[in-house]
Structure 1
Amino acid sequence: MDEVCKVYGRNGSAVAALREVSVALPAGAFTAVMGPSGSGKSTFLHCAAGLDRPTSGEVRLGGTALSGMSETRLTELRRERIGFVFQAFNLVPSLTVEQNVTLPLKLARRRPDRALLADVLERVGLSDRATHRPGELSGGQQQRVALARALVTRPEVVFGDEPTGALDTMTAQEVLRLLRRTVDELGQTVVMVTHDPVAASFADTVLFLADGRIVDALDAPSASAVADRMTRLGAYA
């Protein structure tokens, strides 16, 4: 991401959500993004993931520049090279676990690699739930289905938007440990927006946003260090 600005509205009603943000998110690492409400976290994620277009500046995925791409090409890129895990699980109620996990492949007209599918389901602890439907699963299990769906395409990056926001503390930590393991064992790149210092402590690096700018970064974060830095940003004031 290079000199990225995102402005909503025009003239007197214009609001700058991102202001000249330049950052390189390291491959094979877990990066958390935090900041007060209205700091630009979601806009940052949406621009980085090609879900929204910046007003100015350049976003790249690996060596691919996203600016100038048609909506069709952007959709294909997101489907083939990016995984998403949101606070809402976004599962299809009528489909089984296996069908939900392989849905991105079906949309891309790709045949599932059965060995990879089995490995992903085993990694998220759902091998024995493959034929169940979302309504038969707990919230934590549903989020693990969403994580498996994000991983099954072997994406270059998994973006998480408050992926543990709807889960209780213990279940959230299970999901965070799974994300951590995908980085450590598979070399997956994970970028997660969160408001939770404990969630952020699972990351390698935490980026702090305030007023649309990256104002600080913290490596090897502890929950207490993250909470302290957030307090000084005014998040809990």
Structure 2
Amino acid sequence: MNTGGTPALRLEAVRKIYGSGDGAVTALDGVSVGIQRGSFTAVMGPSGSGKSTFLHCAAGLDRPSSGKVLLGETELGGLRERALTELRRTRIGFVFQAYNLLPSLNVLQNITLPMRLAGKKPDARWLREIVDGVGIAKRLEHRPAELSGGQQQRVAIARALITRPEVVLADEPTGALDTRTARQVLDLLRTVVDQMGQTVLMVTHDPVAASAAHGVLFLADGKLAGHLPQPTPERVAQRLTHLGEW
């Protein structure tokens, strides 16, 4: 695990307040954290702890009320909307609980869509490495409806990797999958980090999912509430209990 150099992603004293006056809600309250390149980090916390806001700010989907978000050396707050859209398309990969594949496109077209939107041709060698790596090389002509949930999530991971992004943001990527399939997808994400050198940041509510990561960040009431290296499901669950999760 590479811990040197500039972090892939940094949040510096990020606050996010929704609404104003008496109705104002502080979703993130001065969060500072660096996500190292080549690491797999899970983000956990009770409902309302700020997990989704954390991910949205990290992705440039939400602008912080104050503080900075940096992808490598690029401060997201300094970018106009068009530049931010371009950055999200090329430098960040996204994996969602609901897969978000386009039903009218086949697997290969879904995977290469970010490249086509950016007006670029995918690198054939990298494409082959990804589809072999995620185990869908024999499914490229299929439509999403012909695939299982686990296969669709593999396609979504391949799509997230096609632009060789600096960081992959995964939002509850195993939330819609059964236990065995979820394990396969988590093993795949870990492989993507350990063998391809990718950086993955995953929001999850599941201690077993979190235990696939190198480390877990805990949020509570919009603040960072600790870090657990080399997590096990038991240690994650125990830490969450202290945060008032269960």
What is the RMSD of the two structures over their aligned residues, measured on CA atoms?
Answer: 0.6
Residue 199, structure 1, aligned to residue 209, structure 2: yes
SS in 1 for 2:141: coil
For structure 2, which runs of at least 5 residues remain unmatched after alignment?
1-10
Query: Can you list the C-alpha shifts for 1:159-192, whole angstroms capped at 9, x where unaligned?
Result: 0000000000000000000000011101100000
Indicate which of 37, 42, 51 corresponds to 2:61: 51
Residue 222, structure 1, aligned to residue 232, structure 2: yes
Instruction: Provide the C-alpha distance between the structure 2 equivalents of 1:114 and 1:219, rounded to a whole number of angstroms.
Output: 36
Which amino acid in 1 is paired with 2:232?
S
Which amino acid in 2 is paired with 1:105?
M
Q: In the TM superposition, what is the alpha-carbon distance from 1:229 to its structure 2 partner? A: 0.4
Match of 1:9 in 2: 19
Which amino acid in 2 is paired with 1:131?
E
Instruction: Provide the C-alpha distance between the structure 2 equivalents of 1:112 and 1:27, rounded to a whole number of angstroms.
Output: 23
Percent pairwise identity? 64
Instruction: Provide the C-alpha distance between the structure 2 equivalents of 1:118 and 1:215, rounded to a whole number of angstroms.
Output: 41
Query: What TM-score results when the alignment is normalised by the length of structure 1?
Result: 0.99
SS in 1 for 2:35: coil
**Superposed counterparts of 1:94-113, under 5 Å:** 94-113=104-123
SS in 2 for 1:177: helix
Instruction: Provide the C-alpha distance between the structure 1 equivalents of 2:157 and 2:236, rounded to a whole number of angstroms.
Output: 25
Match of 1:18 in 2: 28
Query: What TM-score results when the alignment is normalised by the length of structure 2?
Result: 0.95
Over 3 Å off, 4+ runs: none
Match of 1:116 in 2: 126
Q: How many residues align?
A: 236
Match of 1:70 in 2: 80
Instruction: Provide the C-alpha distance between the structure 1 equivalents of 2:215 and 2:129, rounded to a whole number of angstroms.
Output: 28
Match of 1:156 in 2: 166
Q: In the TM superposition, what is the alpha-carbon distance from 1:112 to its structure 2 partner? A: 1.4
SS in 1 for 2:34: coil
For structure 1, which runs of at least 5 residues remain unmatched after alignment?
none
Indicate which of 73, 84, 89 corresponds to 1:79: 89
Which amino acid in 2 is paired with 1:15?
V
SS in 1 for 2:56: helix
SS in 2 for 1:191: strand
SS in 1 for 2:125: helix
Instruction: Provide the C-alpha distance between the structure 2 equivalents of 1:215 and 1:139, rounded to a whole number of angstroms.
Output: 33
Q: In the TM superposition, what is the alpha-carbon distance from 1:95 to its structure 2 partner? A: 0.4
Indicate which of 127, 136, 144 corresponds to 1:134: 144
Instruction: Provide the C-alpha distance between the structure 2 equivalents of 1:69 and 1:116, rounded to a whole number of angstroms.
Output: 29
Instruction: Provide the C-alpha distance between the structure 2 equivalents of 1:190 and 1:112, rounded to a whole number of angstroms.
Output: 21
Instruction: Provide the C-alpha distance between the structure 2 equivalents of 1:135 and 1:162, rounded to a whole number of angstroms.
Output: 21
Residue 125, structure 1, aligned to residue 135, structure 2: yes
Residue 147, structure 1, aligned to residue 157, structure 2: yes
Residue 33, structure 1, aligned to residue 43, structure 2: yes
Which amino acid in 1 is paired with 2:122?
P
Which amino acid in 1 is paired with 2:192?
T
Match of 2:181 in 1: 171
Residue 91, structure 1, aligned to residue 101, structure 2: yes
Q: In the TM superposition, what is the alpha-carbon distance from 1:68 to its structure 2 partner? A: 2.3
Residue 233, structure 1, aligned to residue 239, structure 2: no
